[in-house]
Amino acid sequence: MKSKVMERFKETRLVCLLLFLTLRVDLGFEFGQNKDTEFTFLLPAAATECFFQTTTQNGSMEVEYQVIAGSGLDIGFTLISPRGYRLVSDFRKSDGIHTVDPTEEGDYRICFDNSFSHISEKMVYVEVIVDGPENEDDEDWAALAEPEDSLEYKLEDIRDTMDAVHKNLERSRQLQTALRAFEARDRYLLEDNLWRVSFWSSVSLLVMVSVALTQVYTLRRLFSDKHRVCT
């Protein structure tokens, strides 16, 4: 009985050790492959801004952009490969999502064009997600010791589960970020519409008051007679 308890205790310790190693390896290799970049910048009127993103061979890249402030809420977008080929070209759009799979090794050029607007500047939210090759970490995982046959848990099963959890968390974070960008754009539209409504309401009120005063003055002039008639 005592020997069975000791064996069970050793198996439990081995499972905990495998979980710890899996977590460390997954954080060191799997999490390190995702290169997520998100930022917001102000694009001046009649200007073009370009950014560069480095990728590896046979990876994947996703580029998402949204115009959250500025007249018209539209912008031009261009994605150019490291060899100089134009992969994507959008003209006067408010948002877009584009994926490159597989990627080439080199620097991709991401350009935003506001040259058609000579007065209004634009505030743009950009998110770039770069993933490395899926089989890049197979050798690192293969170098780990395989668990004993008596254990129910396998290292590959633990890895697959943690990979799925990590991908779901990353997707949730991306969706939340996109929702925040939509909320910022909607808030800008509401504030802009509120200013327009307030301005034209004030103008209409001034016109109505002016018309009313003019009518009163005209009627008083019609019925006022300063000449006296002697009888």
Query: Over the range 41-59, which residues count as b (16 or more CB within 10 Å of their CB) and which as e?
Result: eebeeeeeeebebebbeeb
- Quote the pLDDT of residue 231: 56
- Quote the pLDDT of residue 15: 43
- Quote the pLDDT of residue 144: 53
- Quote the pLDDT of residue 206: 92
13/20 Cα distance (integer angstroms): 11
Q: Give the pLDDT means over successive 10-residue stretches in the chain (231 positions).
A: 48 44 39 67 91 90 88 90 92 90 92 90 89 62 52 68 80 75 75 83 91 87 66 56
Q: Degrees (nearest 5) of the Cα angle 206, 208, 213?
A: 95
Residue-range domain boundaries for the chain = 31-136, 150-217
Tell which CATH classification among 2.10.10.90, 3.30.230.10, 2.60.120.680, 3.30.1950.10 matches the domain 31-136: 2.60.120.680
- Residue among 57, 99, 113, 112 at smallest CA distance from 82: 57
Q: How far is CA 115 from the centre of its chain?
A: 23
- Quote the pLDDT of residue 225: 62
> Which spans in 40-154 are helix H?
138-142
- Residue position matching structure tokens 């959250």: 68
